[in-house]
Amino acid sequence: MIQTKSKLVLYLLLILVPIVSVFHLFSGEISIDFSDFYRALFDFDKTNTNQIIFREFRIPRLLMGIIAGSGLSIAGLLMQTMFNNPLAGPYILGINSGSSLFVAFSIMSGIPFFISDFGTISSALIGAFIFGLIILAFSYIVKSHVSLLLIGIMLGSFTSAFVSILQSMSNPSELKLFTMWGMGSLQQVTLTQIPIILVFFILGIISCIFVIKPLNVLVLGENQAMMLGIHLKYVRLILISITAILTGLITAFCGPIAFVGLAVPNMVKLLLKTQSHGFLMVGCLLVGSLFLLVCDILIQLLETSVHIPINALTSLIGAPFVILIVLKRLA
């Protein structure tokens, strides 16, 4: 059960998300009023610059911020519960690296199919799923969670080496495209791509509903979970698949975004003080959205003087928080 204070935190988060979303929507160098936003949605004028900015740039950026923040946070929560380790996550365990490697190949291969949007999405999803299965296979061999995390880091280094080789063989235009993608951004998505993204995102989130009970049992440990009738191999495959879908989807459209899937689930656990994964998932959806939207608001406020990639800012904020978690566990 969740405490009353934790419920109040959830209610506060539910209020904060729309407030921050509105602030994000009206942030930026160009000042636009609410009437332009309304007309951009219901009475779009293709000749009106303000309406074009809202419809083609700010609305997709807002939606992608919510999807990316919540999706990566959910993926991180699934990994942390599956491995029973607060330092687990799609980025640290190399799943993100798998997406990056396959996307690098899709961008720099020169094959028309892979260069298309569908090819990039497919590459990111396949890369995330394959590397997820590799991590899953190692989890059966390696008993220590620390060793598994080290293997994930080594997989990241291994894929980075391959990406470097691809970069050395690519032409300048492909290299520039991949470099820009690797910095991470919420503004690479168009409004026409949002429905496709939402389909995959909703599929991943709905799938999470069916694993809430196994996740709650996994908190007790693998031996207790098996005694209670949980089929661990089946559950692990589902969790890896959900993580691959969410991570691959977000990585394909936004590039690699570090530390969201690692830091946010731990923030949520500290805020809600519960092991009920139904509430934790809702918390991750809300806090993840808030975290990435606030980061993107800071980027927009500072872009007149300096351009900060979203991947860099999430690392600057998330890395110290993860260090605090490690120190707290060692204390």
To the nearest 10 degrees (0 to 180), the angle between helices 277-302 and 310-330 is: 130
CATH number of 4-330: 1.10.3470.10
Amino acid at the residue 214: P
pLDDT (tens, 9 = 90+) of the chain, 331 residues, equals: 567 788 899 999 999 999 999 999 888 777 777 777 777 777 777 877 888 888 888 899 999 999 999 999 999 999 899 888 888 888 777 778 888 888 888 877 766 555 666 777 778 778 888 887 888 788 778 766 667 778 888 888 888 888 888 888 888 877 877 777 778 888 888 888 899 899 989 999 999 999 999 999 988 877 788 887 888 878 888 888 898 889 888 988 888 888 899 899 999 998 998 889 999 999 999 999 999 999 999 998 888 788 888 988 998 888 888 888 777 766 5
- pTM for the model: 0.89
Look at the chain and count its residues. 331
Rounded CA separation 70/251 (Å): 13
113 class by beta-carbon count within 10 Å (0-12 exposed, 13-18 middle, 19+ buried): exposed
- Could you write out the DSSP letters of every residue in 284-326? HHHHHHHHHHHHHHHHHHHTTT----HHHHHHHHHHHHHHHHH
* pLDDT for position 116: 64
